[in-house]
Structure 1
Amino acid sequence: MSFSLKYPVHRELTGGDLLAQCLRQIGVEVAFGLHGGHLDAFLVGCDYVGIRLVDTRHETVAVQAAEGYSKMTGKTGVCFVTANSGYSNGLPGLATALADRSSIFCITSSVPLRDQENNSLQGQIDQVVAARPLTKFAHRVIYAEDIPRIVAHAIHVSTAGAPGPVLVDFPIDVLFAPVEASRISWGAITSPLPFPPGPSMSAVNEALLLLKEAKRPAIIFGSGARSASAVKALLEFSKSTQIPVFHNGKFCFLFPLYESPVFAGSADALGLLKRVGSAPPDCLLLLGARTGMYLGGRGGSIIPEKDCKIIQVDTDGGEIGRTCAVDVGVVANVGQTLQALNVGLSKIPVQVSPEWIKLATALKDIPTPFEKEPRTIEDGKMHPYHALAALLSLLPPDPIIVFDGGECASWAAMAAKLAKPHTIVSSTGYLGFLGSGFGQALGCAVAAPHQMIVNIQGDGSAGFHFMDLDSYARHGLNVLTVVVNNHCWGMSANGQDLVYGEKIASRPVSSLSPKTDYAMIARGLGNSSAKVDQIGEIEPALMEVLSQDGPSCIELLVSRKPTHPVTKSMVGASEDKNIIVVPYYENVPRPRYG
């Protein structure tokens, strides 16, 4: 690749121009952020070279929009936040991207270099030092001519191994400074990104031998298998071997896997094998699916504790065997590994019994027990499962569904298959970060403008960034926001009920106001909207808001009961006097003294 500088007419080429042109050189088409005067030289440079700027109403949303964009495209998402104040608001986005392994490039600015440690406006926090624990790389550029080299290095770090966020601080005087072309340090800005790492052929052969010997093999894929090449290779491998394919609950492309006869749905369904009288899998192939909370923790409901061979594929060697013993560990890109497995099948064919295929793929069709419960609860309000099931079953084909909130997200995940979604994003991620769905939905909408994005929120999580419905409207994004309103923090209130029952009279800080009208607020922010309190009203209300151009919002008034099974399992309430209940984690034995 070559790099030809574009010199603006009637003004000098600045550091901000050079930064924008470097990003354009590596294929950046859009950047998310919020204005700050420190960044104007860069923003003007973006406008000059044709980088689309999508501004939000809060910096956290901007950084998380870059994360959503990265998840959907497989590219590095780019965001910008201004010095200190904006930067501080953006830190939560860096945290979620680090925890969930999303490649984002965060641009910030700071006071002039000569005003460092001078009590200057927006100059109190050393942004590079503060960012280092939350990023894979953080750096301050002090010469404008170094921008290409540092940008290329940051992008390479962000995408190498386990993806993650990087942050580069460009002081305002560096961005506004004229660039001396003869002194530019180009680095690798004109080099293509390196090819992803492939697997050891010995590991591939060992994995195939284990799968060949297995009676009940299964595949679980996670966010590490989200590239188009990985999905294509997975379809080929599953078609050849007929091994049932499950997905974890974090992030997944489901289209076109829905059409595969061996698609078995969510990995949570493996916990139902005991219920139908079957033994668990005896061999699991984990493809970019980290062990831990999204695969049942240490409880053994998804990954058996014994008598199961584990093959784990991940770009991060530190994830191999992190929470359970593995039999074959493959440190490589999932797509590359699947391509190697497909080649290896010619020498080591794998066959699966029809009985196991039928049993495993039928798990996704086992009805939830809530389907038999009344659609309206005794308090006269809609059952949350039935309300979401009714809405999701009416959506246009192939929506991208973003879950946010606590119990709300669990109810939505249970009903999501009714929509046959293209993609599912559990936006709260490993941090359980409520409110992140607003930004990630925005990023998904920019990445996939012709698909419907469904941003499902509880009334608790909705309170974090509801103002960014204004961003959806200003940018004409096809986002349907669903607020599941039960006037409380559902998981918190129901968790307190489980732990304390009648032992305490109050439920501290777990209630929300029944007066808040999300549908009315949405209309004020330029979204068509409706409020629904009866199941029969959902279809006409949904059809009405979707018939109008632009983003929309449906507020569903539901009962705070029943308690979702996820809350019950996470809280782990017990009357056993020898147990200390530790809500949301595993209970611990009561210490014995004497």
Structure 2
Amino acid sequence: MPLVDGGQALVAVLKRFDVDTIFTLHGGHLDCVYQAAVAGGIRLVDHRHEQAAGIAATGYARATGRVGVAMVTAGGGVTNVVTAVANAYADCVASVFIGGAPPLRDYDALPVNSGYDQLSVMSGITKWACRVTHVERLPDLVGRAFHIAREGRPGPVYLDLPSDVLYAIFEEGDAVYPGGPINVSRLAPSSAAVGAVLDMLRRAERPVILAGGGVAYSNGGALLSRFAELSGIPVATNNKSRGTLSTDHPLWVRGFGALGAAAARGAGVPDVVLMLGARLGLYTGGRRKSVIPADAKIIQVDISAEEIGRVRDVELGVVSDCREMLGALIAQAGNGPWPERGAWVSELRGDNVLKPPQPSPTDGLTPGLLALTLAGVVPDDAILVLDGGETPAWFDGVAASLGPGRWLGHGYMGVMGEGLPLAIGAQAAHPDKRVICLSGDGALGFNFAEFDTMARHNLPIVVVVNNDQQWGMSAHGQDLVYGPGKRIVSDLAATRYDLAAAGFGAHAEYVASFDHLGPALKRALAANRPACVNVMTKPVMNPITPRFMGLAAEGLRSPDGKARVPYADILEV
């Protein structure tokens, strides 16, 4: 039997799981893996910060539906990737994170890149965290990591690889190698549950579907479209599911906030809500200000039983893969007619509501005008990445999403600075598509050196900067709560990000007037290399900020003297 080291064994297993790209930052603990990866034809995308490597792996996963892989070195490398791991955990992104570690034999001797228990750090933010203690076990444990990451509710796993295990040599026949992904049947609903769901939906006067990440991760977009068309039920999507129902579809009513907006203008409110792979929490309005009416009946479909009933009771919970549920609904939906619901759909869409005027150059170069102009030049099949507090909200209302996996925005953690690495992951996965990242100037600074990664790896990502010289949501939030002139640590300089990006080898554009914006965007798209379009915008508050601030936007004290908590809807204490 041939002799192999742990690095060669690891790469052999990665290839069995069709891994073609690893996102990483060099560490000597991992050199044997790098050598084996190059020899085995696996692409290595090396970053300038471990956080960026981890987020890029999740961007790859979200853009492909496959498992993303990131590898970081021991000590600070592992702590640097914690944010990416936690973000993947919160948003259920299938990913395998591999961390180098000091030798087991020196565990308590304070060797290089040591001083804490890496496994303890990772155990609370992963589906599974494991330390490989014998090199012969490495192949089967890597296989287990991939299985856990992708099955059931997806999420991150972590493997800790001590260097004396990883560099050890063993006979290949002494290990059990997995054959690749296990063919696991998807969890399907019972016929009785499907019948109950259909009965509630047919009887409803104003039903709505809230499609979440469970639809996207199960590749259920086509079935969602078919069921919506069959039943005539309107569909709202969130950041993770946007594009599963094309944004030009007549039954798409925008985001979950459409329910609250309809209620605010006196339109109808839903009486039955079908939640497909969506979670009750932040994106449905929180505990106290839910966009779902208190008397609405909720049907919640989720792959994870413990998710059902979070925050509030539901009328019917169904533990099922969303694609299996949609297929079953379609199969049984022909047993009887569906009510005509055109008027309800129109109410939710706000067809008869006077639309606000489009941003105009007469108002100056505002973030809204930047978003509208950018939306007008992006290719239909582009992958759009959004980063920042207010900046994504400007783009959300004007941009199209014609397919799944093409809209990568913030999740529950709201991690600022994930835009550039998400874009790298998406571009590495789809070299044939244009990837465009719109970022606020504050968010851009976290991982700015990733322009270097883009340039070295020939990733022609176009980065458009909404440079309003502030942490927009923070600055405007302070203005709302404390009044003008009392901003603290929320203003930024008029930084020339274009010049800094050019230093890394990017095509650079500086835009200070609307007349220059369109031509600059077109030149950046045509450059066929990384590009930075630095757009100096007029600071304007987006309507999303007062909604995030909650009652605190009207004052920090209630009429009866209670304290109002910012960023917590209507919480008074």
- The match for 2:131 is 140
Equivalent residue letter for 1:261: P
Kindly provide the CA deviation profile for residues 125-166 of structure 1, in whole angstroms up to 9, marking residues without a partner as x: 221111101111111112111112211222222223221111
CA distance in 1 between counterparts of 2:311 and 2:472 reads 30
TM-score (norm 1): 0.91
- The match for 2:216 is 226
Mean alpha-carbon deviation: is it higher for 426-435 or for 31-40? 426-435
Equivalent residue letter for 1:476: N
- Structure 2 residue 303 is matched with structure 1 residue 315: yes
CA distance in 2 between counterparts of 1:484 and 1:245 reads 30
CA distance in 1 between counterparts of 2:358 and 2:322 reads 40
Matches within 5 A, 1:53-92: 53-92=44-83
CA distance in 1 between counterparts of 2:209 and 2:135 reads 49
- The match for 1:43 is 34
- Structure 2 residue 426 is matched with structure 1 residue 438: no
- Structure 2 residue 234 is matched with structure 1 residue 257: no
TM-score (norm 2): 0.94
Q: Indicate conservation of the 8 Å contact 1:296/1:302, yes or no.
A: yes
CA distance in 1 between counterparts of 2:518 and 2:202 reads 48
What SS does the aligned partner of 1:430 have? coil
What SS does the aligned partner of 2:379 have? coil
Kindly provide the CA deviation profile for residues 36-94 of structure 1, in whole angstroms up to 9, marking residues without a partner as x: 11111111111222221111111101111111111111111111001112111111111
Change (3 A) 1:405 1:115: same
- Structure 2 residue 392 is matched with structure 1 residue 401: no
> Alignment partner for residue 293 of structure 2, among 297, 304, 311?
304
- Structure 2 residue 350 is matched with structure 1 residue 363: yes
Q: Indicate conservation of the 8 Å contact 2:224/2:245, yes or no.
A: no
- The match for 2:523 is 544
Q: How many residues align?
A: 568
Mean alpha-carbon deviation: is it higher for 342-351 or for 111-120? 342-351
Q: What is the CA-CA distance between 1:574 and the residue it aligns to? A: 2.3
Equivalent residue letter for 1:310: I
What SS does the aligned partner of 1:83 have? coil
Change (3 A) 1:117 1:366: farther
What SS does the aligned partner of 1:465 have? coil
Q: What is the CA-CA distance between 1:460 and the residue it aligns to? A: 0.6
- Structure 2 residue 257 is matched with structure 1 residue 268: yes
CA distance in 2 between counterparts of 1:156 and 1:56 reads 27
- The match for 1:507 is 487
- Structure 2 residue 84 is matched with structure 1 residue 107: no
Q: What is the CA-CA distance between 1:509 and the residue it aligns to? A: 0.7
Equivalent residue letter for 1:448: H
What SS does the aligned partner of 1:80 have? strand
- The match for 2:237 is 247
Change (3 A) 1:146 1:368: farther
- Structure 2 residue 312 is matched with structure 1 residue 329: no
Matches within 5 A, 1:101-500: 101-186=92-177, 188-190=178-180, 192-227=182-217, 229-248=219-238, 250-254=239-243, 257-258=246-247, 260-274=249-263, 277-298=266-287, 300=289, 302-306=291-295, 308-347=296-335, 349-360=337-348, 362-363=349-350, 369=356, 371-372=357-358, 374-377=360-363, 381-417=364-400, 423=405, 425-500=407-482
Equivalent residue letter for 2:138: I
Equivalent residue letter for 1:196: R
What is the aligned-residue RMSD (CA, Å)? 2.2
Q: Indicate conservation of the 8 Å contact 1:270/1:363, yes or no.
A: no
Where do 5+ consecutive residues of structure 2 fail to align?
none
- The match for 2:569 is 586
Q: What is the CA-CA distance between 1:517 and the residue it aligns to? A: 0.5
Q: Indicate conservation of the 8 Å contact 1:151/1:189, yes or no.
A: no
- The match for 2:554 is 574
CA distance in 2 between counterparts of 1:166 and 1:568 reads 37
Kindly provide the CA deviation profile for residues 278-328 of structure 1, in whole angstroms up to 9, marking residues without a partner as x: 21111111111112111222455631222x221111112222110222111
CA distance in 1 between counterparts of 2:417 and 2:180 reads 38
Change (3 A) 1:145 1:368: farther
Q: Indicate conservation of the 8 Å contact 1:34/1:59, yes or no.
A: yes
Q: Indicate conservation of the 8 Å contact 1:148/1:189, yes or no.
A: no
CA distance in 2 between counterparts of 1:190 and 1:256 reads 32
Where do 5+ consecutive residues of structure 1 fail to align?
none
> Alignment partner for residue 533 of structure 2, among 527, 531, 554?
554
- Structure 2 residue 98 is matched with structure 1 residue 98: no
Change (3 A) 1:317 1:110: same
Q: What is the CA-CA distance between 1:242 and the residue it aligns to? A: 1.7
Change (3 A) 1:166 1:397: same
What SS does the aligned partner of 1:488 have? coil
Q: What is the CA-CA distance between 1:175 and the residue it aligns to? A: 1.7
- Structure 2 residue 521 is matched with structure 1 residue 532: no
What SS does the aligned partner of 2:159 have? strand
Q: What is the CA-CA distance between 1:452 and the residue it aligns to? A: 1.5
Equivalent residue letter for 2:330: N
Change (3 A) 1:574 1:16: same
Q: What is the CA-CA distance between 1:95 and the residue it aligns to? A: 0.9
What SS does the aligned partner of 1:173 have? helix
Kindly provide the CA deviation profile for residues 143-197 of structure 1, in whole angstroms up to 9, marking residues without a partner as x: 11111221122222222322111110111122221122332134x5446242221
- The match for 1:18 is 9
Equivalent residue letter for 1:340: A
Q: What is the CA-CA distance between 1:345 and the residue it aligns to? A: 1.2
Change (3 A) 1:373 1:192: closer
Q: What is the CA-CA distance between 1:364 and the residue it aligns to? A: 7.4
Q: What is the CA-CA distance between 1:270 and the residue it aligns to? A: 2.4
CA distance in 1 between counterparts of 2:267 and 2:460 reads 44
Equivalent residue letter for 2:450: D
Change (3 A) 1:560 1:424: farther
Mean alpha-carbon deviation: is it higher for 34-43 or for 223-232? 223-232
Change (3 A) 1:368 1:252: farther
